[in-house]
Amino acid sequence: MRTFKNLLVTGGAGFIGSNMIRYLLTGPSGFAGRIINLDLLTYAGNPESLADIAEQYGKGTNPRYVFVQGDICDRALVERIFKDYEIDGVIHFAAESHVDRSILGPEAFVRTNVMGTFALLDVARTAWAGRYSPHHGSASADNSPVLFHHISTDEVYGSLGETGYFTETTPYDPRSPYSASKAGSDHLVMAYCHTYGLPVTLTNCSNNYGPYQFPEKLIPLMIMNMNEGKPLPVYGDGKNIRDWLYVEDHNSAVWLVMQKGRVGEKYNIGGENEWQNIELLQELINIVAEETGKPADSLRALITYVKDRPGHDRRYAIDCTKLKTELGWKQSVSFSEGLRRTVRWYLTNPTWVEHVRSGSYRDWIEKNYEKR
């Protein structure tokens, strides 16, 4: 089993990354080392999501957690971090992540997702020289003392019809600027392993939901709009299908792959939990009605069909047999339980929502990081 002393987590102020850091430092992971969180703090990154972790030791400092505000494309900065903190593992979450934004402005997606991943890989290749075998297929790779783990998405596989599943061997067929940029990053990761022998693992996960997700994504957007009596915008006919997974289950899978996965392999992660958007919304309405006391009929009246997303993928569904049989992973949070937890979290954390919407958490950064 691989262990790590100093993990570089990129994008750790975002939705999945912040949940991962909390899982590693306070959850059941068994991780005993230190985390260096490199995040640019774009609109989607919010250090307030980890305020409790940063201040766990009472004086605003936690010896197991270091936050660095910076860009993964900044090669000199990444080199310094590798050297100063003796990085032996990378979990690469940082990305532009919203499909609708990629349609309106694809450039940032190519820059961060492709060029940023390239910069990280290339620094890892040189910083770790001598710590891994440059020969592809080395039998010792699985015991490598260093590892680059790349976080990716099921969207790289394209769109499914009514039947079938994405497996690890499904050919890539990305169809949005977001998924194309993620596919490009996946190819670079595998190429660095194949060509230079860089020890990598890669996971492709289905749609995540849970606390700290930026309220532009379907589930938190709908919860907040219901709470505020705003329209619930359903794209197209509402029958597009996604496979939903609670964020903690994604992160337990990632950690398992990092510890025990085979180097050079990719693993699919999924909820085995397919929902048409409109059916999911009906389910969410029932839960919000129960939690707030608002009549479900008044919430249903807010449903508004709007113009479809251009190139909207019809169906995603993950086959995660490899992860389950090879590493023994399984989902632990049912959809009804996960949705209820998520609804309660958004209803009881209005300040977090208000701050990410207004960007006012930047004042919090000024206040809390003024001495750096």
Residues that bind ligand TDX (CB under 6 A): 97-99, 153, 155, 207, 217-218, 221, 233-235, 240, 242, 277, 309
Q: How far is the CB of 293 from ligand TDX (least distance, A)?
A: 25
CB closest to ligand TDX, residue no? 153
The partner in contact with residue 263, picked from ligand NAD, ligand TDX, none with C-beta cut-offs of 5 to 8 angstroms by kind, is none
Query: Which of 88, 96, 154, 248 does the annotation list as catalytic?
Result: 154
Which option in ligand TDX, ligand NAD, none does residue 11 bind, with CB closer than 5 to 8 A by kind?
Answer: ligand NAD
Contacts with ligand NAD by CB under 6 A lie at 10-11, 13-17, 38-42, 44-45, 71-73, 93-97, 112, 116, 151, 153, 182, 205, 207-208, 214
45 binds, among ligand NAD, ligand TDX, none (CB under 5 to 8 A by kind): ligand NAD
* Minimum distance, C-beta of residue 213 to ligand TDX, in the bound complex (Å): 9
By a kind-dependent CB cut-off of 5 to 8 A, residue 234 interacts, out of ligand TDX, ligand NAD, none, with ligand TDX
17 binds, among ligand TDX, ligand NAD, none (CB under 5 to 8 A by kind): ligand NAD
Between 133 and 368, name the residue whose CB sits nearer to ligand NAD: 368
Residue 155 CB, nearest distance to ligand TDX (Å)? 5
Question: Would you say 62 or 170 has its CB closer to ligand TDX?
Answer: 170
Do 121 and 189 touch, CB atoms closer than 8 A? yes
Q: Which is nearer to ligand TDX, 155 or 186 (CB)?
A: 155
Indicate the pairing of strand 232-235 with strand 303-306: parallel
Cα–Cα distance between 112 and 181 in angstroms, integer?
9
235 is catalytic: no
339 contact partners, CB below 8 Å, separation of at least 6: 209, 219, 283, 284, 287
CB of 273 to ligand NAD, least distance (A): 13
User: How far apart are the C-alpha atoms of 355 and 60, rounded to whole Å?
Assistant: 20
Q: Which is nearer to ligand TDX, 88 or 313 (CB)?
A: 313
Residue among 203, 266, 213, 177 nearest 17 (CA): 213
**What are the Cα distances from residue 78, in Å, to 11, 249, 329?**
13, 29, 32
Residue 24 or 41: which CB sits closer to ligand NAD? Answer: 41
Which partner in ligand NAD, ligand TDX, none is near 277 (CB below 5 to 8 A by kind)?
ligand TDX
Task: Give 360-365 contacts, CB < 8 A, sequence gap 24+.
Answer: 361/46, 361/47, 361/48, 362/41, 364/47, 364/48, 364/51, 365/41, 365/47, 365/69
DSSP secondary structure of 93-141: --S---HHHHHH-THHHIIIIIIIHHHHHHHHHHHTTTSS-SSTT-GGG
Q: Is 178 a catalytic residue?
A: yes
**Which lies closer to ligand NAD via its Cβ, residue 15 or residue 67?**
15
Q: Between residues 62 and 277, which has the closer beta carbon with respect to ligand TDX?
A: 277
> Among 39, 71, 88, 155, which one carries the catalytic annotation?
155
* Integer Cα distance of 263 and 72 in angstroms: 23
Rounded to whole angstroms, what are the CA distances from 242 to 19, 204, 218, 223, 338? 21, 14, 11, 18, 16
CB of 256 to ligand TDX, least distance (A): 20
Q: Is 172 a catalytic residue?
A: no
Minimum CB–partner distance for residue 140 and ligand NAD (Å): 29
Q: In Å, what is the CA distance from 169 to each residue of 46, 172, 258, 320?
A: 35, 9, 20, 12
Alpha helices, H only, the chain: 15-26, 51-54, 75-84, 99-104, 107-109, 117-127, 177-196, 218-228, 247-260, 277-292, 296-300, 321-327, 335-348, 350-358, 361-368
Given the residues 85, 132, 178, 196, select the one marked as catalytic: 178
Smallest separation, CB 309 to ligand TDX (Å): 6
Please identify every residue annotated as catalytic. 154-155, 178
